[in-house]
Structure 1
Amino acid sequence: MSPLRPGATIGILGGGQLGRMMATAAAQLGFDVLIYSPEDDPPAGRVATGAFQADWDDAEALSEFARACDVVTLEFENVPVASVEVIEAAGKRVLPGAKSLSVSQDRLTEKTFLNAHGIATAPFREIEAASDIPAALESLGGKGVLKTRREGYDGKGQAWVHDPAEAESAWQKIGAVPAILEGAIAFACEISVLVARSQTGATISWAPPRNEHENGILARSTVPSGLARAIEDEARRKAMHLADALGHIGVLALEFFVLPDGTLLANEFAPRVHNSGHWTPEACQTGQFEQHIRCVAGWPLGDTHRLFDAEMLNLIGEAGYVDPAKLGKNDVLTLYGKREARPGRKMGHITRRLAPRKD
C-alpha cells in the first residue's frame, strides 16, 4: 500500500474516546475521518468528518462505509471479526487485521498464543462449567481469579475464587460463560509497554509506565516506572516480538505483572491505542494516537523520545467534571465528550508534566 496523502479518508470502527483522540490526531496530519459505530451521537463522531450509525452485522452499511474510506482502523478489540471481513471483502484494508483481533478477543487463545511465542503468563486453566473449578483451583495453588474468555474489561467479567465452595457463585457472577481460571500472582507492580509497528515491519516503543488500578480500573500511569533498565528493556523486547508474531500494524499495548525478583508475566494485550499511553502526546515527541495514524497511513514511524517525566490520572464517573481553575500549571486536561457520567465510566484524563528529561 502506498503512503496516504493528506486529504485521504481514514475510517475508524468504534466511536468512543479512543476513536475521538485518533480522529483528532488524524485531522492534525491532514486526513479526513469517518466513524462507524452502532451508538447514536458517539464522542468520536463529533470531531470527525462524518459518522455512520449502524450495527456491526449490517453488511450493507459496512460495505458503504468501506467504499467511503481509503483505509480502515479500529479503536477497540471487540469489533466482530466478521465485520472486518465484510470491509476487506469490499476491497479495503483494515489495520490492524483479523489476526490481532481474533487472538485478543479470547483470553484462552490469547494466553496460549503468548506462551507459544515465549512470553510467559500466570498459570491458567480452561473452564467450561462450575464443576471444572475445584480441580483447576487445586492445581493452581488454591487461589485464582475466574475470567470470562471474551469481552470482560476494567474488572468486569471477573471473580476471585479462594475455596472450592465458591465455585458456583463465582461461575454465576461472571455470567456462567466459558472462562479461564488464572492463578493468583504475588506481584510487586504492573507496567505496560506500548509498541508501534509500521507497514514495513519497523517497530518502536515508548517508556513503560507503572500502572495503578482502583476497583479494576486504571487510575494512574507514571513514567519513569522506577524499575531497572534491564527489566524495562526485556518488557519492550517482548512487546515488539508480539507485534511481529501477529503481523500487527499500528499501536499495541502489552500489560505485565512484575514479580519481586523482576520476572515479567504478561497479563493481556490490547491491539490498539491504550489508556496507559494517554500521557504520550503531552510528554513525548510523538504520541500514541499520531503514531497509530502514521502506521495506518503507511507513513514512517515518529520518534518516541520522552521529553518529560509524567503521570496520567484517569477521571472516572463524577470526577470527569473538572473545574479548569483548579488545574495546575503543568496539567493538561483531555475530556472525552461523553454526555453522561456514570460510576466507573471514564470521562477524561489529566496528564501532568513533571521534570523535563535531562538525557
Structure 2
Amino acid sequence: MQTNKQILPGQTIGIIGGGQLGRMMALAARHMGYRIAVLDPTPDCPAAQVADLAITAAYDNMDAIRELNSVSDVITYEFENVDLQAAAYLEKEGKLPQGAFALEITQNREKEKQLIKKAGLPVPDFAIVHHGGECEEALQNFPFPAVIKTCSGGYDGKGQFKLTSKVDVQPAIDFAAEKGHCIIEHWIPFDKEISVVFTRSQSGEITYFPLAENDHKDQILYKTTAPARVSGKLEEKAIHAAGRLAEEMNVVGTFAIEMFVKGENIYLNEMAPRPHNSGHYTMEACNISQFTQHIRAICGLPLGKIELLRPAIMVNILGEDIGGTLKVMQEQSEPFVHLYGKAEAKTKRKMGHVTFLGETMEELDKTIEQFEEARQ
C-alpha cells in the first residue's frame, strides 16, 4: 500500500537507519524544512546528529517501530536489510511509500537475480545452492572464473569470494557448507562497472541521473566518475533496463542498479532500493541531488528535472585515509569534503567522501592524482 498524499515541510520524516545515507537524507530534508526522526541502535549515530528525534533501538524492535510510526508523517530507510515484518507494518499503516516488496527482493540475491531474469534483462549465468553437496554438483560444469556469495547479507565484498580455477572448488564447497543459501555467478571479464541511479515518484514519473562509472579497490567502491565514459547506445540500454525494473518492482524513491559493461553489452549485477554511494557526486555536480530527489519522491512532491552542471569524480574516504584527507582540507580549497560524523575511524570503514568538479575528464584525472599524492 503506497501513500499518495503530499507530506509538506514542517512535517516529520522518519528514517530507519542512522548511517551516512540517513544523515545525507536528513540534511537534504532539513534544507527543505522537514523535521527528522531516526531509528538506529547506536547512540549519536551520524543521522542522529542532525535529527530532531533519535530512537535508540534495534531495527526489529516493534515497539520502537511503532514509536517511529507515531511521530512520523512518512517513513523511509537508508539500507535494504530492514526487518520485513516492520516494513510490512509500516506499509499497512500508510507510512512507507517505498513498500516492502523492493526490500524483500534486494535482501535476497536469488530473488534479485530471478526477478531480473523474469524481466528479460541480461544477467550473468548463476546457480543457487543450499549446502556443500549442491555447490560441488553445480561447479562440475560451471565456467571459471566465478564468484560465490551468500544470498543474504554481505556488502563491500563481505560474504563472498572469487573462484579462478578448480583449485578453488573445495574452498567454495566449504563456504557453502558454512553459509548455506548461496549463489554462484559467472565472473564477467567486464571492461567497467557503471551505476544507474534514478528516482521514481509515487505516480510513476522517473528521472535519471547521469550514468556513473565505478572503480573499486579491495571490493570497496573507491572512485565514481560522472558522466560514465560509454556510448550513447549503451547508455540507452542501461536506462531502458533500469526503467524496466523500476516498473516491475513499482519502485518509489531513489534507487540504484550496478551493471557490468563488456563491449557494448550490459549485465545487471546488484540493486539498492535507496540512495547509493555511487550517486554522491550529485550533491555538487547536479542541480538536484539524489537525496533531495528521494525526499521529494517519498513526500509525494513533483520530481525536479536533472541537469549535470559539471563533470565530477567522487572519492571515498576510508578510515586509513582520514588523516591525509584532513591535511588536504587544511591546505586546499578545491575539493568538496563530506565527513559523516562517525565516532571511530576503522580500516576500510567509509568515513566520508570528496567530490571534485572540472571542465574536462582529463583535468579531473590529473586533479585526483594530485589529491592522492597530497594526502599520502
| Same fold at TM > 0.5 | yes
Greater displacement, 29-38 / 237-246: 237-246
Secondary structure (helix, strand or coil) at the match of 1:43 reads coil
Mapped partners of 1:171, 1:340: distance in 2: 36
> Cα deviations across residues 254-282 of structure 1 (Å, max 9, x unaligned)?
010000x2100001110000000000010
Quick check: 1:33–1:49 contact (8 Å CA) kept in 2? yes
Cα 1:142–1:180 shift into 2, 3 Å: same
Aligned Cα RMSD in Å? 1.7
* Equivalent position amino acid for 1:300 in 2: P
In the alignment, is the contact (CA less than 8 A) between 2:260 and 2:267 conserved in 1?
A: yes
Q: Determine if the alignment matches structure 1 residue 35 to structure 2 residue 61.
A: no
- 1:46 corresponds to which residue? 49
Residue 193 of structure 1 contacts residue 254 of structure 1 at CA under 8 Å; is this kept in 2?
yes
The 5 Å alignment of 1:153-232 reads 153-164=155-166, 166-173=168-175, 175-232=178-235
- Residue 240 of structure 1 is matched in structure 2 by 243
Counterpart in 2 of 1:274? Answer: 276
Q: Report what 1:305 is aligned to.
A: 307
Match of 1:314 in 2: 316
SS in 2 for 1:285: coil
Is the partner of 1:155 in helix, strand or coil? Answer: coil
Give aligned pairs, total: 355
Answering whether residue 69 of structure 2 is matched by residue 66 of structure 1, we say yes
CA distance in 2, matches of 1:273, 1:139: 38
Q: TM-score, normalised by structure 2?
A: 0.91
Which residue of structure 2 lines up, in the alignment, with residue 265 of structure 1? 267
Structure 2 counterpart of 1:96, which letter?
Answer: Q
**How far 1:141 moved relative to its partner?**
1.4
> TM-score, normalized by length of structure 1?
0.95
The answer for unaligned runs of 5 or more in structure 2 is: 362-376
Which of residues 325, 331, 346 in structure 2 aligns to 1:342? 346
User: What SS does structure 2 have at the residue aligned with 1:295?
Assistant: helix
| Counterpart residue identity of residue 340, structure 2 | Y
Cα distance in structure 1, aligned partners of 2:339 and 2:300: 29
Q: Which amino acid aligns with 1:334?
A: H
Cα separation, 2, equivalents of 1:139 and 1:73 = 43
* Structure 2 CA distance for partners of 1:201 and 1:64, relative to 1, 3 Å: same
Deviations 1:53-94 (A, max 9, x none): 1122321221111010001000000111111123234x2421
Identity over aligned pairs, percent:
37
Residue 353 to residue 70, structure 1, CA distance change in 2 (3 Å): same
**In the superposition, relative to structure 1, how do residues 325 and 67 fare at CA in structure 2: closer, same or farther (>3 Å)?**
closer
Cα deviation for residue 240 of structure 1 reads: 1.7
Q: CA deviation at 1:328?
A: 4.2
SS in 1 for 2:271: strand
- Structure 1 unaligned blocks of 5 or more: none
1:16 aligned residue? 19
